[in-house]
């Protein structure tokens, strides 16, 4: 009964990342031919069960946090109204409530208010724009639903925070504290935590700003504009952790980091600061659009072989003219 309620409210739907994977497999008719070959049935059946188990586990983890968010938001809304001295049952039946609708009971209002936050503030594949979903059929774009959802939910989180801060009911602002907490929490998640983590590791390993600049010059292209956490080895050499890989909201802060890097790296005697800023803005726009406009995985691999002559976009050489034919074929197939 509870599960049906969460589904009706739109609290639990589909993970944005998992949705992309499942739709891609469906587009490619994954396993359909092999499934018709009786000789392969013994191999495929255990793999099918493994795939189903992995899918269920991934979805369960995603649903767990959505339900957790729903329960926390529901409790927070209830406490905010009680602290402001507002009768919840009267508030729910008043069209001037924050949702602008009349509800039969206070429980109905709390359920819908909390579910609305989950639907709008947590990435969900069911809310991905159809045009974005169709990008997966093109030779460009890789797993575009998740970054698209991060953009949508980031805007919604800030919008909700401002709305809560300014909402007034009978001369009282019941959600002001919640709204301020939401905005500051988003700022901490997107900016303060990554910055604080980097500074903490710099202090822990005694890494200077010049060393950080040098480290950034040597990291791969995909980490150039990431949040880099430095680790100094005992012999003085460096390793690094790409913190952006684990930060869901990196999509929103990466343009800022790109602009800062452009200013830091591009300044010369002849360049003005504004030229660096303009270049940085251009680069950050490209970074933001990268998942949507970059070559898709298969397209990039084929382009490396057919048009780039065995060289990747980053400049790595897969094989040369002197590579034996058999080894060249092997490398092409592996790539």
172 in Cβ contact with 184 (< 8 Å): no
What element of type H or E holds 225?
A: none
For 259-309, the DSSP string reads: HHHHHHHH--SS--HHHHHHHHHHHHHHHHHHHHHSBPHHHHHHHHHHTSS
SS3 state at 144: coil
Question: What is the predicted pLDDT for the residue at 37?
Answer: 57
Question: What is the predicted pLDDT for the residue at 202?
Answer: 95
Distances (CA, A) of 300 to 3, 140, 284, 307, 309: 42, 9, 22, 10, 12
Question: What is the predicted pLDDT for the residue at 269?
Answer: 47
Is the pTM here over 0.95, yes or no? no
For 68-118, the DSSP string reads: HHHHHHHHHHHHHHHHTT--HHHHHT-TTSTT----SSHHHHHHHHHHHHH
Distance of alpha carbon 270 from alpha carbon 76, whole angstroms: 55
Question: What is the predicted pLDDT for the residue at 300?
Answer: 86
Question: What is the predicted pLDDT for the residue at 167?
Answer: 94
- Those residues of the chain that have pLDDT short of 70 are 14, 16, 24, 27-45, 254-289
Question: What is the predicted pLDDT for the residue at 170?
Answer: 92
Question: What is the predicted pLDDT for the residue at 294?
Answer: 76
């Amino acid at each position: 009964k509870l599960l049906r309620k969460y589904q009706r409210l739109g609290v639990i739907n589909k993970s944005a990342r998992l949705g992309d994977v499942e739709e891609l497999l469906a587009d490619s008719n994954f396993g359909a031919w092999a499934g018709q070959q009786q000789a392969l049935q013994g191999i495929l059946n255990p793999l099918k069960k493994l795939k189903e188990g992995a899918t269920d586990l991934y979805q369960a983890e995603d649903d767990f946090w959505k339900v957790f968010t729903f329960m926390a938001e529901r409790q927070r809304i209830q406490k905010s109204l009680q602290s402001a001295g507002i009768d919840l049952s009267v508030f729910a039946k008043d069209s001037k409530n924050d949702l602008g609708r009349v509800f039969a009971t206070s429980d109905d209002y709390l359920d819908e208010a909390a579910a609305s936050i989950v639907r709008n503030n947590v990435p969900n594949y069911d809310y991905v724009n159809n045009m974005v979903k169709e990008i997966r059929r093109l030779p460009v774009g890789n797993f575009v639903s998740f970054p698209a959802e991060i953009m949508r939910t980031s805007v919604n989180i800030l919008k909700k925070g401002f709305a809560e801060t300014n909402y007034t009911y009978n001369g009282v602002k019941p959600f002001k504290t919640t709204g301020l907490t939401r905005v500051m929490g988003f700022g901490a998640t997107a900016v303060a935590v990554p910055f604080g983590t980097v500074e903490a590791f710099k202090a822990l390993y005694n890494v200077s700003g010049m060393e950080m600049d040098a480290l950034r010059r040597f990291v791969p292209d995909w980490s150039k504009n990431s949040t880099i956490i430095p680790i100094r080895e005992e012999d003085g050499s460096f390793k690094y952790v790409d913190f952006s890989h684990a930060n869901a909201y990196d999509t929103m802060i990466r343009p800022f980091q790109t602009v800062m890097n452009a200013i830091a790296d591009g300044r010369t005697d002849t360049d003005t600061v504004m030229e660096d800023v303009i270049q940085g803005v251009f680069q950050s726009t490209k970074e933001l659009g990268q998942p949507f406009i970059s070559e898709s995985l298969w397209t990039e691999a084929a382009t490396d072989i057919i048009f780039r002559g065995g060289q990747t976009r980053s400049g790595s050489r897969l094989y040369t003219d002197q590579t034996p034919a058999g080894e060249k074929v092997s490398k092409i197939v592996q790539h």
